[in-house]
């Protein structure tokens, strides 16, 4: 046997070589496969573009609705005694820095009465530099934190550019108990 015959015999035995086999040609992919891939690629790209634009516009709205300007960082106490003696009113006034708040739409505050006494009704007064005042009664105070949000349109100030102070007032004729304490927190302006 010649060397070539030995190699052919070994190829038949070990590699399963068949004689007379044509060279294997790769199958041609149908045109539909290409169309499906193009459609999937266009769908993915459109989804990515739509998702990014939706996220960016929603992100902008989230920033607009967030609280932008806060007056306090920790709760303040308004302890009051509006019993038989004078004065029949107890107030806590907070100065507002010279910031243009007309770009906001709401003033927010969180309130809570302590167990020693709770007035149930608290008057809030906003005063601007023109000496205009807006008065609003916050009702249903309890011993749990409650958030209040007052729309500027519900308050009768004409000039929101120059807000001077915010006052919280307990009045004897509105208080359920003549003595007590109110905690005031999260005074802020928002959209």
CATH number, domain of 179, equals: 2.60.120.430
Q: Do 60 and 124 belong to one domain?
A: no
Q: Do 167 and 115 belong to one domain?
A: yes
Q: Do 126 and 39 belong to one domain?
A: no
Euclidean distance between CA atoms 132 and 12, whole angstroms = 106
In a domain, 111, yes or no: yes
Q: Do 37 and 104 belong to one domain?
A: no
In a domain, 160, yes or no: yes
Containing structural domain, residue 43:
28-65
Q: Do 40 and 90 belong to one domain?
A: no
Among 38, 65, 92, the domain boundary falls at 65
Digitized pLDDT (tens) for each residue of the chain, 191 residues in all: 788 888 777 777 777 655 555 555 666 667 888 889 999 999 999 999 888 887 666 554 444 555 556 666 778 888 888 877 777 888 888 888 877 788 888 888 999 988 877 888 899 999 988 888 999 999 888 889 999 999 988 888 888 888 889 999 998 888 888 888 999 988 888 88
In a domain, 42, yes or no: yes
Q: Do 51 and 95 belong to one domain?
A: no
Q: Do 147 and 92 belong to one domain?
A: yes
Q: Do 80 and 108 belong to one domain?
A: yes
Tally of domains in the chain: 2
């Amino acid at each position: 046997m010649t060397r070539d015959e030995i190699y052919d015999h070994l190829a038949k035995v070990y590699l399963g070589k068949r004689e007379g086999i044509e060279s294997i040609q790769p199958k041609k992919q149908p045109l539909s496969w290409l169309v499906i891939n193009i459609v999937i690629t266009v769908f993915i790209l459109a989804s990515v573009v739509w998702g990014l634009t939706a996220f960016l516009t929603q992100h902008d709205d989230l920033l607009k609705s967030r609280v932008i300007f806060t007056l306090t960082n920790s709760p303040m106490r308004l302890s009051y005694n509006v019993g038989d003696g004078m004065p029949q009113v107890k107030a806590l006034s907070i100065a507002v820095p010279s910031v243009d708040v007309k770009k906001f739409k709401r003033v927010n505050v969180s309130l809570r009465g302590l167990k020693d006494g709770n007035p149930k009704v608290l008057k809030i007064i906003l005063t601007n530099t023109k000496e205009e005042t807006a008065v609003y009664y916050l009702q249903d105070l309890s011993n749990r934190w409650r958030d209040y949000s007052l729309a500027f349109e519900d308050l009768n100030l004409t000039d929101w550019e120059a807000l001077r102070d915010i006052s919280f007032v307990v009045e004897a004729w509105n208080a359920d108990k003549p003595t007590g304490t109110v905690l005031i927190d999260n005074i802020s302006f928002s959209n």
